[in-house]
Structure 1
Amino acid sequence: MLPSGLWRIAQVTFGVPLTKDVDLGQGQLPDWLPMEIYVVILSIVAEGLAFLAVGLVSTWGEVWPRWVPFAAGKPIRPLSAIIPAALGAVALTVTWTMALILSLRGRALDGRQFGDGGWRGSLTHDVGELGWRAWVFVTAYLPLLAWGPLLAAVTYAYAVRRKAFK
């Protein structure tokens, strides 16, 4: 999670040349939201959501912290953590698996075909050439394939530890 966020921030917000001659455009962002700010917000939100998984393997996933009004010190119902974590694991697994499959076929997530086709076309579209930029891109984004299955594993371990399935 962190490598891809750092890659996005470095590329889009700070202009580090991790791509070559690729117009990032504005996409479907509203005119009032600059792409640079959006990428930073996206990365922070993604990291925050990823950090919630720590609650599945630590004590703060079992009892509400003292600073939470009206719930401080009360036990957390296991299903209130298991259901969102399981749904997140499924969504992440499907999303990143589809991203890999489409990329290997030379397509973007929206279905557009890249010029060269195949994985080579995907990488050359994103990074401009198959050189160090491609390796940095793959190194930053490939770990996202494991995020969903690993979240599923810690969700299952949490459910077993909390005896949610009696």
Structure 2
Amino acid sequence: MTTEVSRDSRRSTALSTPPPSRWMRWTAHAVPLIALPSSLWRLAMTVGVPVGYSDAVLRTDYGLPGSGYFVLPLITVLQELAALLTLGLVSNWGLVAPRWLPFIGGRPVRTWAAVVPAALGALILTVVTFSQYLAWDKVDSGSLDDAHRSVMGWCYAPLLLWGPLLGVVTVSYYLRRRRQR
């Protein structure tokens, strides 16, 4: 009986929330793709693709060879996982926590439990990426030639969209959940 009640509450949460618009789904799916170029650039550097840094800079600034073989892929994986969390705002697992999660698995996700971290993430990402953009003329100016610096810039520039797009998807999620009540 208890499982039937919990299943019914999960179903009612998922069914009573209006589905996201096609645009919001596309926007949410764009976020992991936006994070991908910088991830690929970082992984290329890790596996030895010449990205323009001298061996001395790779050793002192990025720990290559050495700890960078662990740290840079870890940063990449964490970045992509964080970007993939945006999909929860347009998926059923953003309405009902997946069963495999300890303590909360199978329970409805409280609106604020998703909106607050997503909104804070959008704000932090926007501030960090735009502050880095404003300081771009000072970033690695002595370590990279113009061609390699341009490639790096084109790989990192899409990150400027991550915060604002996450913010848009977060507002959409909040408005959909508010209509649910």
TM-score (normalizing by structure 2): 0.71
Alpha-carbon distance, 1:138 to partner: 2.1
Largest Rg, 1 or 2: 2
Alignment of 1:109-124 (within 5 A): 122=140, 124=141
Higher relative contact order (CA 8 A, sep 6+): 2
The answer to whether structure 1 residue 127 and structure 2 residue 158 are counterparts is no
Partner of 1:79: 112
Contact kept, 8 Å, 1:26 with 1:35, in 2: the verdict is: no
Question: Over aligned residues, Cα RMSD in angstroms?
Answer: 2.4
- The DSSP-based 3-state class of the residue aligned with 1:147 is helix
2:175 pairs with 1:160: yes
**Do 2:62 and 2:68's aligned partners in 1 also have CA atoms closer than 8 Å?**
no
Report how far residue 70 of structure 1 moved.
3.8
Q: For 2:133 and 2:177, how far apart are their aligned partners in 1?
A: 34
Amino acid of the residue matched to residue 127 of structure 1? L
Q: Summarize the Cα distance change of 1:126–1:52 in structure 2 as closer, same or farther, 3 Å threshold.
A: farther
TM-score by structure 1 length? Answer: 0.77
Matching of residues 11-90 of structure 1 within 5 Å? 11=45, 13-21=46-54, 23-27=57-61, 34-90=67-123
Paired residue secondary structure (1:23): helix
Residue 28 (structure 1) shift: 9.2
Q: Unmatched 5+ residue regions in structure 1?
A: 109-121
Match of 1:142 among 138, 146, 157: 157
User: Aligned letter for 2:77?
Assistant: I
Deviation of 1:68 after TM superposition, in Å, equals: 2.5
* Residue among 33, 36, 39 paired with 1:5: 39
- Provide the C-alpha distance between the structure 2 equivalents of 1:143 and 1:152, rounded to a whole number of angstroms: 15
**The residue matched to 1:84 in structure 2 has which SS?**
helix
* Counterpart in the other structure of 2:15: none
- How many residue pairs get aligned? The number is 144
Tell me, which stretches of 5 or more residues in structure 2 are unaligned?
Answer: 1-34
